[in-house]
């Protein structure tokens, strides 16, 4: 869900002012299907100068997905999940590929996932952990975990995955109480949105300095950018994003992949 302004152009400073404004209004389109009002002008142009931002149209998204190296087992899991209730919850293959890349670049050995569902993202991460690596997988829904476990077994990664069935906040708190603070390299947060700030505080204790916490759905179908949308989940994610901007404990990068992921690095 991205705002697009197609077309290369002269820097705004080189055009007469009125023409520049007209140009910006005409060439901008908004692709979020969930926006309540058709936003046509970006204040970012005023602040940062005109930058081309690509729209991920359905066709382009197909193209991106056709360039993902998805393993057969991940494909099978995705297809099995596709017919289930909540199938839209699993991360997309391009998101999983980014998670895997981050884990590999970091050389992560100990990871946490909050919100496993049927296991797509956790299977992707567990599959690239070295021998002796660990992924703590927090999920409250036993039925979804049955499918996840089946695929961990099939992929031969069950020995690296420690499932914590129950409320994720309880699991993370007990990990902290058990002396596991600062012992994790990487965490992926993808559970109930209204709890993001609480999970983040717990994960920040568990992840070491230099470790990463990646948070999914930070663009929330584009709704976070629409001032007319103020339902509790949107407000919660919007506040969370704003807090991250002010949080001096982490550096951040918000990436428009899937429904938006923010990568946080702990200082």
Closer residue to ligand SAM in complex, CB, 30/103? 103
- What string marks each residue from 98 to 137 as x (binds ligand SAM by CB under 6 A) or -? -----------------xxxx-xx----------------
How far apart CA 10 and CA 198 sit, in angstroms, is 46
Q: How far is the CB of 238 from ligand SAM (least distance, A)?
A: 18
Closer residue to ligand SAM in complex, CB, 25/82? 82
Taking each helix axis from N to C end, the angle separating 72-82 and 120-127, rounded to the nearest 10 degrees, works out to: 170
**Spatial contact of 171 and 164, defined as CB atoms under 8 Å apart:** yes
**Spatial contact of 236 and 215, defined as CB atoms under 8 Å apart:** no
For residue 151, state whether it binds ligand SAM (rule: CB under 6 A). no
Residues 18-57 that bind ligand SAM (CB under 6 A): none
Binding segment (CB under 6 A) for ligand SAM, from list 50-58, 88-96, 103-111, 250-258: 88-96
For residue 192, state whether it binds ligand SAM (rule: CB under 6 A). yes
Q: Which of 135, 79, 140 is nearest to 115 (CA)?
A: 140
Q: Which of 182, 200, 184 is nearest to 237 (CA)?
A: 200
Residues 240-259 that bind ligand SAM (CB under 6 A): none
Phi, psi at 192, each rounded to 5° = -55, 125
For residue 91, state whether it binds ligand SAM (rule: CB under 6 A). yes
The dihedral built from the CA positions of residue 245, 251, 253 and 258, taken in this order, carries a sign that is: negative
Residue ranges binding ligand SAM (CB under 6 A): 89-91, 115-118, 120-121, 138-141, 144, 167-168, 190-192
């Amino acid at each position: 869900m991205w705002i697009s302004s197609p077309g290369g152009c002269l820097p705004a400073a080189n055009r007469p002012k009125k023409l520049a404004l007209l140009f910006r209004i005409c060439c901008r389109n908004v692709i979020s299907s969930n926006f309540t009002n058709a936003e046509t002008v970006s204040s970012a142009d005023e602040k940062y100068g005109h930058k081309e931002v690509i729209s991920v149209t359905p066709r382009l998204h197909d193209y991106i997905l056709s360039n993902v190296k998805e393993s057969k087992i991940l494909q099978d899991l995705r297809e099995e999940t596709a017919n289930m209730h909540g199938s839209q919850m699993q991360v997309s293959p391009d998101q999983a590929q980014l998670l895997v890349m981050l884990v590999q670049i970091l050389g992560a050995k100990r990871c946490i996932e909050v919100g496993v569902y049927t296991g797509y993202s956790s299977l992707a991460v567990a599959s690239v952990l070295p021998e002796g690596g660990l992924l703590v997988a927090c999920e409250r829904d036993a039925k979804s975990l049955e499918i996840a476990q089946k695929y961990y077994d099939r992929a031969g990664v069950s020995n690296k995955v420690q499932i914590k069935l129950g409320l994720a906040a309880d699991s993370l708190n007990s990990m902290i109480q058990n002396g596991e603070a600062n012992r994790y390299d990487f965490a992926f947060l993808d559970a109930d949105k209204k709890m993001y700030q609480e999970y983040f505080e717990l994960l920040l204790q568990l992840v070491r300095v230099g470790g990463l916490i990646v948070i999914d759905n930070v663009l929330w179908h584009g709704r976070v950018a629409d001032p007319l949308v103020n339902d509790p989940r949107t407000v919660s994610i919007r506040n969370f994003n704003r807090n991250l901007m002010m949080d001096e404990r982490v550096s951040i990068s918000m990436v428009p992949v899937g429904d938006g992921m923010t990568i946080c690095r702990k200082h």
